[in-house]
Amino acid sequence: MSAAVAAAAPARERTGVLSACGIVAGPIYVLVAAIQVLTREGFDLTRHPVSVLSNGDAGWIQIANFLVTGALTLAFAAGLARAGEGRWAPRLIALYGLGVVGAGLFAADPMDGFPIGADTTITWHGLAHLAVGGIGFLGLVAACLVLARAHAAAGRRGWALYSAVTGVVFLAAFLGIASGARVPGLNLAFAAAVVAGWTWLSLTAARLHRTR
Q: Which CATH number is 65's domain given?
A: 1.20.1070
Asked whether the predicted pLDDT for residue 11 surpasses 90, the reply is no
Q: What angle, 0 to 180 degrees and rounded to 10, lies between the N-to-C axes of helices 124-153 and 184-211? A: 50
Rg of the Cα trace of the chain? 18
Identify which has the larger pLDDT, 9 or 132.
132
Number of domains in the chain: 1
- Give residue 7's pLDDT: 42
**Using an 8 Å Cβ cutoff, are 138 and 152 in contact?**
no
List CB contacts of 13: < 8 A, sequence separation 6 or more. Answer: none
- Give residue 129's pLDDT: 96
Asked whether the predicted pLDDT for residue 194 surpasses 70, the reply is yes
**Using an 8 Å Cβ cutoff, are 95 and 81 in contact?**
no
d(CA 195, CA 36): 15
Asked whether the predicted pLDDT for residue 4 surpasses 60, the reply is no
Mean pLDDT computed over 77-95:
91
d(CA 189, CA 46): 9
Helices (H), the chain: 3-39, 59-82, 88-105, 124-153, 157-178, 184-211
Other beta carbons less than 10 A from residue 178's beta carbon: 14
**Using an 8 Å Cβ cutoff, are 82 and 11 in contact?**
yes
Range of the domain at 127: 3-211
